[in-house]
Amino acid sequence: MVEKVNGTTWRQRLDQRQEEYLTQLSELVAIPSVSALPERRADVASAAEWVAARLRQAGVEHVGVHQLGVDSSAVYGDWLHAAGAPTVVVYGHYDVQPAQEEDGWSSPPFTPRVADNRLYGRGASDDKGNMLAPILATEAILATEGTLPINVKFFFEGQEEVGSPDLAAFVAAHQEMLAADFVLAADGSQWSETEPELTLSFRGLCALELTLQGPENDLHSGIYGGTVQNPIHALCSLVASLHDADGRVAVDGFYDDVVEPTPDQRQQFARVPFDEAGHLAATATLALFGEKGWTTHERTWIRPTLEVNGIWGGFQGDGTKTVLPATAHAKITCRLVADQRPAEVVKHIEAHIHKHADPAVTVSIQAEEAAGAPYSVPATHPGIQAAAAVLADSYGRDPYQVGSGGTLPLCGIFLEHLGIYTVPFSFGLDDEGAHGPDEFFRLDNFRRAQLAYGDVLYAIAS
Amino acid sequence: MVEKVNGTTWRQRLDQRQEEYLTQLSELVAIPSVSALPERRADVASAAEWVAARLRQAGVEHVGVHQLGVDSSAVYGDWLHAAGAPTVVVYGHYDVQPAQEEDGWSSPPFTPRVADNRLYGRGASDDKGNMLAPILATEAILATEGTLPINVKFFFEGQEEVGSPDLAAFVAAHQEMLAADFVLAADGSQWSETEPELTLSFRGLCALELTLQGPENDLHSGIYGGTVQNPIHALCSLVASLHDADGRVAVDGFYDDVVEPTPDQRQQFARVPFDEAGHLAATATLALFGEKGWTTHERTWIRPTLEVNGIWGGFQGDGTKTVLPATAHAKITCRLVADQRPAEVVKHIEAHIHKHADPAVTVSIQAEEAAGAPYSVPATHPGIQAAAAVLADSYGRDPYQVGSGGTLPLCGIFLEHLGIYTVPFSFGLDDEGAHGPDEFFRLDNFRRAQLAYGDVLYAIAS
């Protein structure tokens, strides 16, 4: 229909140019844009320039490299001529994780090579291959149709692999530039080579550190043992009080704002295959574990947790030291789900600790800076509906509706500062070594991503 | 009566020679016999020779310096001509704690000086002043009476301040040489300048280290949090299970062999002043604490404890790391009282841990080598009775019957290998800086010790 101009559709154009695109992706992967290493800052900047040039070449307008924080960058460009149609932000990142051949790579990580229909190299999957796809789709549509079905704002950053510390401030300062109906995140994964997924939630995070002071200094356990409360004992009792026997967090108010899943949502989760043997093998644990009444998927995706990430106090050396220690410490983080608010949860935990702490010790609690609110997008969101339709078409089956146990600060940032949801739409797979050696991207998925991005722009339009 | 020979009693002789004895004690204190420092081994050996010479000069026979372990020494000598009378071992040590002027000393620690009727110098109180007293008393009696009322074996060692690691083997190998009715330990303290004490018990010790293994490696708490038991949580629950709400150890069998005090014993403890404000100040804690139903003295002296001396697991650095750790560890020691047996107590704790540990983690327990059995001597023991009579006479009031919360391996060693009790009979005070700077010995107590040792030999004889 509208897709045909000069006898070539945008799909045909994409298909005809896979070899050229592979060369371009290889060029981008060859830039060692490691954001964690100060000595690689110039390479991150080179990657930004490469992306900006590629956007311009694709026909995107207002392309520029912006300062992000003091020493990083973001690339913005847009095409805004679809009057009356929706506007989306396409998000991705051109920085990569560190990689050295000594880490176990079979070949130099920044010398891309093709084998088995895969492109090997740091960043091939996370996120250079994925973020290039929407640019190529846009170029193909503009070249064949002369117009896009919707308005598109491209926004790529160079800080994702170090936690995007300056992203929130940037988004807050560029609200007009980034205003849109929602975000398509070209960073993420699908369930498998044959099964698509849609990630509808990410957990949030709050963190605190706990110090219990008993005596002012370490004491001799012979002279004082039995007459002074041991802060390790008091700490262990406190930690033990944080969960009940059913694995629920036993802090008053902790679950107050937790959104219970609908029966339909639980049915959706039940559809998602769970590899029990694989889970046990991956964790090298003995049996499934967790909050009673929930499946492992649910425990990971839509139930909050409270974990002690570290504990210490007293003597940790070889042998025996009969000390009654002065202090004991614990670090705690919670994974939060919608609609829990990190600051409220910290308050509930503080209240619990003050209520349950042994009066013989002095408690101090330090709330730590940590990355934000939980995120959840309704399955009925138009962006999700469009993505679902395209994925169903591309894979020949409906996508699994899943959650993520981790935290994607991006989603909370766009929701908070622009009031818009983020729809993950990306084609990596978990086995592609995103943060390990021998990272690769499947070339079939590179092509699939380009076509799916073209399709999703049309799906959003309709 | 028998004390007068040539018109001078042994008491008069001692009194006449205090200046001379002070010079001799200063000579001994000037030898830096620090057993903890390899470079001071020759000085420890010099101190041994000094002690041996002084014993010979006093009229003690069979005096010799014996090898103790590979690099230390013990001095033995005896006077065994009181046929039919009891035999005692007089124990002390000529090694000292390390000391450097920089530690806060007002004058060089091995340059003895007299001020305010005190001799200042490392070892003046612990234990050179105390161990010299029985030698001087023996000399005075032999010089004036020509005989001793009982048989005496002097046994002084050079390893006390490093925990007497070779003492047990030495005693085991010299059972005939050291055979006696009991030991008089010239190492210890009195309650105050005006109040005597008798220490009737020392607590024993057992130790174990506990490791809980959850997943094989640290896990990402976003991906796995809530689905894998956190070994820190499991460890804290275990530690919390080790005590009940009343501060009692909640391990089955833990108290099985604990000897309950008699009403008389509790009355004796109640006589002993307790400085609550001083205790709170010394520990910088907020309120008295401990097992319900017992006084602070009783908690320290006759009640066993279980203390976690150290705990660790997971992330202990700055900031936040959302890790679900693979392992968590705790070090535990128990202070034991008569008739608990360390190996039995360890078995009870192991059983408790295996019973209460979360099945989702793997527990391993390592019993540590630690210093032995609790010790308790009956108040009716003839040595205690003799010591009590002499102390009552010297101070003009009955001694407090106290216990010690610490462990004195010596007592267990003599009881195990020779079947004899140890009677602490010594005249230091707790404020004399035994292990700190500006150690001193009160010259009034130096004299009092000499007279009391003479008296106690007669008291034991009768």
The confidence score (pLDDT) of residue B42 equals 97
Task: Tell me how close the Cα of B82 comes to any Cα of chain A, in angstroms.
Answer: 40
In terms of residues, how long is chain A?
462
Classify residue A229 by burial, with Cβ atoms within 10 Å: 0-12, 13-18, 19+: buried
Please report residues of A whose CB lies closer than 8 A to that of B280.
none
| Contacts of residue B452, Cβ cutoff 8 Å, sequence gap at least 6 | B133, B390, B391, B394, B425, B427
Distance CA(B122)–CA(B94), nearest Å, equals: 11
Please tell me the distance in Å from A340's CA to the nearest CA on chain B: 16
pLDDT by residue (tens digit) across A149-168?
Answer: 999 999 999 999 888 999 99
Instruction: Tell me the average pLDDT across A436-462.
Output: 97
Measure in Å the smallest separation between the Cα of A5 and chain B Cα atoms. 47
Does B309 contact A288 at a Cβ distance shorter than 8 Å? no
Inter-chain residue contact A320 with B333, CB threshold 8 Å: yes
Token look-up 């002012």 returns A216
Q: Please give the distance of CA A154 from its chain centroid, rounded to a whole number.
A: 19
d(CA B186, CA B91): 6
Distance separating alpha carbons of residues B343 and B352, to the nearest angstrom: 14
Beta-carbon separation of B290 and A405 below 8 A: no
Contact predicate B450/B427, CB 8 Å: no
**Nearest CB partner across the interface for A222, out of B223, B288, B406:** B406
Q: What is the mean pLDDT of chain A?
A: 94
Nearest to A206 by CA among B248, B225, B120, B335: B225
* pLDDT of the residue at B210: 97
* Chain B residues in contact with A236 (beta carbon < 8 A): 235-240, 308, 311
Q: What is the pLDDT of residues B59-115, one digit of tens each?
A: 999 999 999 999 999 999 999 999 999 999 999 999 999 999 988 999 999 999 999
CA–CA distance from A150 to each of A78, A142, A181 (Å)? 11, 11, 11
Query: For residue A160, which of A151, A170, A174, A173 has the smallest C-alpha distance?
Result: A170
Kindly report the nearest CA distance between residue B163 and chain A, in angstroms. Answer: 13
Can you read off the two tokens belonging to residue B387?
């010591």
B229/B231 Cα distance (integer angstroms): 6
In terms of residues, how long is chain B? 462
Query: Which of A153, A174, A198, A158 minimizes the C-alpha distance to A60?
Result: A153
For residue A249 the two structure tokens come to 């967090």
CA A14 vs CA A3, A460, B203, B206, B412: distances in Å: 13, 20, 83, 75, 88
**Inter-chain residue contact A320 with B370, CB threshold 8 Å:** yes
Q: Please give the full DSSP string across A130-148, using - where no structure is assigned.
A: HHHHHHHHHHHHHHHHSS-
A238, two tokens: 């406190």
Q: What residues of B are in contact with residue A226 (Cβ under 8 Å)?
A: 290-291, 299-300, 303-305, 335, 405
**B404/A291 CB distance under 8 A:** no
Contact A309 B324 (CB under 8 A): yes
d(CA A406, CA A205): 9
Nearest 5°: phi and psi at B157? -125, 165
State the CB neighbour count (10 A cutoff) for residue A362: 16
Question: Please, what is the Cα angle at B116 between B114 and B117, to 5 degrees?
Answer: 65
pTM of the model: 0.86
The torsion angles phi and psi of A96, rounded to 5 degrees, stand at -135, 165
Q: What is the pLDDT of residue B318?
A: 86
Q: Which amino acid is at A50?
A: W
pLDDT at res. A370: 64
Distances (CA, A) of B23 to B27, B94, B227: 6, 17, 74
Residue holding tokens 């216990």? B403
Average pLDDT estimate for A346-373: 91
Residues 6+ away with beta carbon under 8 Å from B12:
none
Two tokens, residue A118: 């895969």
What is the spatial distance between Cα A207 and Cα A246, in angstroms, rounded to a whole number?
A: 23
CB of A423 closer than 8 Å to CB of A411: no
Least Cα distance to A94 among A165, A11, A156, A171 occurs for A156
B460 min Cα distance to partner chain A (Å): 31
Among candidates A33, A69, A35, A77, which has minimal Cα distance to A53? A77
3-state secondary structure of B230: coil
Give CA–CA dist A95/B102, Å, rounded.
55
Confidence (pLDDT) at A310: 97
- Is A308 close to B368, i.e. CB distance below 8 A? no
Q: Sheet harboring A400-404: ordered strands across?
A: A375-376, A197-202, A400-404
Measure the CA–CA gap between A283 and A62, rounded to whole angstroms.
48
Chain B residues within an 8 Å CB radius of A293? none
Three-state secondary structure call for residue B21: helix
Count the Cβ atoms, other than its own, within 10 Å of residue B19: 8
Residues of chain B with pLDDT under 50: 1-3
Task: Report pLDDT digits (tens) over A44-55.
Answer: 999 999 999 999
Residue A2 has pLDDT above 60, yes or no: no
Judge: B291–A405 Cβ closer than 8 Å, yes or no.
Answer: no
B249 close to B348: Cβ distance less than 8 angstroms:
no
Distance CA B49, CA B164 (A): 19
| Helix/strand/coil (H/E/C) assignment for every residue in A249-310 | ECCCCCCCCCCCCCHHHHHHHHHCCCCHHHHHHHHCCCCCCCCCCCCHHHHHHCCCEEEEEE
Structural domains for chain B = 10-202+375-461 (3.40.630.10), 204-258+304-368 (3.30.70.360)
CB A309 within 8 A of CB A333: yes
- Name the token pair of B4: 């007068």
Of B294, B246, B249, the residue nearest B274 (C-alpha): B294
Contact A175, A336 (CB under 8 A): no
With a CB cutoff of 8 Å and minimum separation 6, the contacts of A423 are: A182, A183, A184, A185, A198, A377, A381, A383, A384, A386, A387
**Lookup: tokens for A37:** 């290493």
Asked if B136 contacts B144 with a C-beta cutoff of 8 angstroms, the reply is: no
Tokens for A435, please give them. Answer: 């943060």
Q: In three state form, how does the secondary structure of B104-118 look?
A: CCCCCCCCCEEECCE
The answer to whether B167 and B413 are in contact (CB under 8 A) is yes
Does residue A66 surpass a pLDDT of 90? yes
Tell me the pairing of strands B422-424 and B182-185: parallel
Give me the percent of chain A exceeding a pLDDT of 90.
Answer: 85
Q: How many CB pairs under 8 A join A and B?
A: 257
**What is the secondary structure of B147-163 as a DSSP string?**
S-SSEEEEEEES-GGGT
| Cα nearest neighbour of A216 on chain B | B284
List % helix, strand, coil for chain B (3-state, nearest 5): 40, 25, 40
HSE-CB for B388 with a 13 A CA cutoff: 16
Which residue bears the tokens 């499947």? A442
Give SS3 for A151: strand
B226 to A291: CB separation less than 8 angstroms, yes or no? yes
Q: Residue A358: CB partners within 8 Å, gap ≥ 6?
A: A229, A233, A234, A237, A238
ipTM (interface predicted TM): 0.87
* Residue A252: CB atoms within 10 Å: 12
**Which uninterrupted H or E stretch holds A424?**
strand A422-424
Question: Residue B444 and residue B438: Cα distance in Å, rounded?
Answer: 18
Interface mutation vs chain B, best among A205, A218, A224, most B CBs within 10 Å: A224
Alpha-carbon distance B233 to nearest alpha carbon in chain A (angstroms):
7
Residues of B in contact with A370 (CB under 8 A): 320
CB-nearest to B322 from A205, A216, A322 is A205
